[in-house]
Chain A
Amino acid sequence: AQSVTQPDIHITVSEGASLELRCNYSYGATPYLFWYVQSPGQGLQLLLKYFSGDTLVQGIKGFEAEFKRSQSSFNLRKPSVHWSDAAEYFCAVVKEGAQKLVFGQGTRLTINP
C-alpha cells in the first residue's frame, strides 16, 4: 500500500530564513506527487505537483520541490520564508489511475519574527 511520511511534525524557522520540509513516499512506481498548504480552519491549497520530466518543480508563493527517485523523496523548499507562510503543509501521492490521494500527517510551520 502507498504511504507518505513527513518526518517533521513541527518546524520553527525565523522570518527570512530558508526552509525545507521533508516528504518520503513508499510505492513501487513513481506516483504523482503533490504539496498542499492549509491555513488554520481552511481547506487545502495546491502549492505544486510533479508528474514527470524535470525533477525540480516550481510552485506558487515562491515554493519549489525536488523529486529524487533514488531516495523516494519530494522535499519542499523556500529560500526565504515570510510570516504569512505559517501554516500546515501536506505532502500527498496518487498512483496514476487511482481514485484517492494519500496524504502524509502534515508538518506545522511556525515563523519566528
Chain B
Amino acid sequence: ETGVTQSPTHLIKTRGQQVTLRCSSQSGHNTVSWYQQALGQGPQFIFQYYREEENGRGNFPPRFSGLQFPNYSSELNVNALELDDSALYLCASSHRGGGLREQFFGPGTRLTVL
C-alpha cells in the first residue's frame, strides 16, 4: 500500500507565473483535498475533488484551480502567482465512504514566489 505522494518537493517561481502541483492519492482512496499552509500558520482548505469534480471550496480566488484524474490523482494549478502564494501546499486523500475520518497527508510541496 503506497501513501500519498506529491511532486515536486520544492519549486521557485516569480510573480505572475503559473504553477502546477501534483498529488497521487493513497491506494483505495477516491477523494483528494488540497490545503495551503503559510509560514507559522495552520493549513487552510483550498478545495476537494471527488469523481473528477470539485466538491467543496475554501476562501481562495478562482486562479486556484484543480483537476482530478480517473486514477484519483490530482493537480493544483495556480495562475498569476502572487508573493503571498508562497507556502507549503499539502494534499490529503481519503475515501468518500469514510468521510474525513481517515485522511492521510502527503509531505507537501514548498512553493516560493519571488
Are A105 and B104 interface neighbours, CB within 8 A?
no
- Count A-B pairs with CB separation below 8 Å: 63
| B48-66 interface bits toward A, Cβ cutoff 8 Å, 1 = contact, 0 = none | 1000000110100000000
* A residues 28-86 in Cβ contact with B at 8 Å: 32, 36, 41-46, 49, 51
Q: Report how far A68 CA is from B35 CA in the complex, Å.
A: 28
Interface of chain A, helix or strand or loop or mixed?
loop
Looking at the assembled complex, report how far the CB atom of A31 sits from the nearest CB atom of chain B, in whole angstroms: 10
Q: Which of A92, A97, A100 has the most CB of B within 10 A?
A: A100
> Are A105 and B42 also in contact (CB < 8 A) when A32-B100, A44-B105, A100-B48 are?
yes
Are B101 and A104 interface neighbours, CB within 8 A?
no
Q: Report how far A102 CA is from B40 CA in the complex, Å.
A: 16
A interface list, Cβ under 8 A from B: 4, 32, 36, 41-46, 49, 51, 90, 92, 94, 96-106
